[in-house]
């Protein structure tokens, strides 16, 4: 994987790490949902990415996946308490998306919710 982290934020989840990659457009032409989930939100167009890593003994990072962030410039993201949803604030897209996540493996799934027209989103938090 050749990826430059010009800007990033991260969340340490114990033995897993999520990193947002801004300005990478890894998913520039891909739809951000899968046809296997009819409840998924389809947001085709440019999308930066979220990278997931497993943290090994001694702190070694092992890349486990790259998934669409749901838009451009993922300024901030937050994982809910259960670990099964990730809210992503997409600053330049002016929206927040919610992505399914497997709490055990850390694998990202489909975008299941989205709200747009928000201006420059800089922070997202869960009210739990």
- Per domain, the residue ranges of the chain are 10-115
DSSP string computed for 62-121: EEEEEEE-SSS-EEEEEE-TTSSEEEEEETTTTEEEEEEE-TTT--EEEEEEEE---SS-
Q: What is the pLDDT of residue 23?
A: 79
pTM of the model: 0.79
| Mean pLDDT estimate for the chain | 80
Q: What is the pLDDT of residue 128?
A: 92
Count the helices and strands in the chain (H runs, E runs): 0, 8
- pLDDT(64) > 60: yes
Q: Which two tokens stand for residue 5?
A: 């982290």
pLDDT in tens, 68-124: 999 988 999 999 999 999 999 999 888 999 999 999 888 999 999 988 888 899 899
């Amino acid at each position: 994987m050749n990826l430059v982290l010009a800007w990033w934020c991260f969340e340490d989840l114990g033995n897993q790490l999520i990193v947002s990659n801004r300005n990478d457009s890894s998913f520039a032409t891909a739809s951000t949902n899968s046809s296997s989930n009819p409840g998924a939100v389809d947001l085709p167009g440019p999308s930066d990415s979220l990278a997931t890593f497993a943290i090994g003994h001694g702190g070694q990072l092992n890349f486990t996946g790259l998934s669409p962030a749901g838009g451009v410039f993922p300024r901030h993201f937050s994982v809910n308490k259960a670990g099964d949803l990730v809210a992503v604030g997409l600053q330049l897209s002016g929206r927040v998306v919610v992505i399914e996540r497997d709490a055990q493996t850390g694998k990202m799934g489909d975008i299941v919710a989205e709200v747009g027209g928000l201006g420059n989103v800089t922070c997202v938090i869960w009210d739990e």
